[in-house]
Structure 1
Amino acid sequence: MRHEDPTSHSSAPSPPLLEIRGLDLDFGTPRGRVHALRNISLNVPAAQVVGIVGESGSGKSTLAYTVMGLLPQNAVVTAGNILFEGRDLLEMPSQTRRNLLGNRLSMIFQDPMTALNPVRTIEGQMIDIQHHEKISRSEKRSLAIQMLHRVGIPDPQSRMGGYPHHFSGGMRQRICIAMALLVKPALLIADEPTTALDATLEVQIIHLLKDLQKEIGCSVLFVSHHLGAVAELCDRVAVMYAGEVVEQGGVRDIFHNPAHPYTRALLECDPGRIRQKTRTLPTIRGEVPNLLGSKEGCIFQPRCPQAFGRCTQDTPIEYRIGVEQAARCHLLNEKGLVSR
């Protein structure tokens, strides 16, 4: 009889909680199809925070809403898979996928001023979010009070009866975080949750998210344009440009050894990296391209200071840099790196 060593499989990596493979998404418009997401491949490991960064219009929020299934009627996924806990979300019956929302999948929306229902009390909304739980209303209320206390709402027992307009923007965002985490999701998607807040509140919210993520043990897909917030919160980073992931890897690798010209340009524009007083902030020349119709070559080529002949003709493939980092750039092929 064969006896297996119980530790023999311990070194095998566990599958990612969320696995996006070759995802393409188009928006139908009167002027034609907008290719909003193109060949997106991205993993979110269990109990890790993955950041998505890029300029406005790069497709960050579109990707987040695609994972949640919250897309307008003119959006069409034309290729790819979104595997969550081993099951393809795109192949699920609509009711099965809806049952995951507010249960295994949860989301913090960008604007705390509009994310809450203005005509319902905080108590009512926090009890409703627990509709998957087979417990009494008083137990749900007790859990809601505990979570509001955890996110720093003072005197939550009495303030639960208030309406959203009774709270400041920072407090409303804390309530949104409390609601999203109250169901203890496996995956939390945070779509620029600090955009509407001032710098002091932003730091507080980032630290709060970091503590709660470790406490609950969930994975987080964190969408942001704030590089400092991503560096503070995330384990891994994916850099998006014009609907493509141009570089991804560990947060330390991306911030200390960026391989794609766009990633380098993005980091150079970060005000937190400017050491001398100046009235002129650095910018990336040009504009994000129009995504109507097909494009040849590298999508970043018109704005890239290092572009050469091949960049206008061939779409770059992904090249591996080190163990976890990879980028899509023809310059990496010139350096003899191996494609994935």
Structure 2
Amino acid sequence: MTLLYEPNAVLAVRLLTVIPDPRIATRREAATGALAKGLESVVVIGPSLPMSLALEYAAEARLARPGVGIVLLRSVIDDDVLARSVRGGVLVVVDANDRTAVANACQRAHPSEVSYRPGQITVVLGSTGGCGKTTVAINLASVLRATGAQVCLVDLSLDTSGLAAQLRLDTVSPLVTPYEPGLDCALTQAKPGELFSPTFVAELLVALEGEYDHVVVDTPTRFTEQVLTALDSARHHIVVGTAERPSLKAMRLALDMLDLLTYDPRGRRIVLNRVVPEVRLSPREVDALVHNRVDGELPATKAVPASINQGVPLAAAIPDHPFAKALRRFTDTSIDHV
């Protein structure tokens, strides 16, 4: 069942047509009492409740009913609302005026384990545009999810929203959108720079790290403030490039930048994507260009663009495909499993 806590009776009635089979509470006492009965698995906090009181009740709900799914409705969603929501432990914030988004959020919200998981953050960087960075990030998240881990895939490519396009996802909220059991996505929105400020990125990653075993962050091919914030929080930095000489030289520049920023090289991994053995450079030539050990190679295959067209990660669609096996070998040796 769903509990709707909305002090404004008129708004509560309007939301009846959007939220399936809700129990309505217009007073704090009634809303608290409903939690004590232990019947509801999803709590929807209405838009008329002031932000401070809404987050106060959300904390009460999480304490009274560990694992309850909380959906916060707001009439206006801005950077301050999102940051305060993250600090308050609420990762599903929905525009109260978007009836479809409200209905989807209520349908997809589900109880989750709330015991703190000491998760880890992995940032995926691309040496050049078009190297397949986003595809690697998506499939890496899928491989980690297949181990039984709870994974969140974060899109910091604010100008392209590549994750949503590749996975054919419409965002449910400005924070977390479920993709499949064990794998959620935090997607960018229209005018994303207003929502994903560096401060907000930092707070979001802290919150996600506590809720998930792994957080995989896809980034643009440049060192923005948001990317630097993610790098500061991450345990692993994965640099993706292709095996051609121009891409390898660009990869070297990216690695030099990471060194200049004094990031620990022990957490750094290098992946070559779309490798064709017959025409690839020799290991000695690659080493001379990159000056770092290559940790993984992913074969070129027509199955990758085919899987993108289907909106399904190749590692999930065909786990025994050579591409999926190569990525799994890289993951097993390069990513710490929780």
Give 1 or 2: higher helix fraction.
2
Do the two structures share a fold, i.e. TM-score over 0.5?
no
**Bigger relative CO (Cα 8 Å, ≥ 6 apart):** 1
Q: TM-score, normalised by structure 1?
A: 0.32
Q: TM-score, normalised by structure 2?
A: 0.32
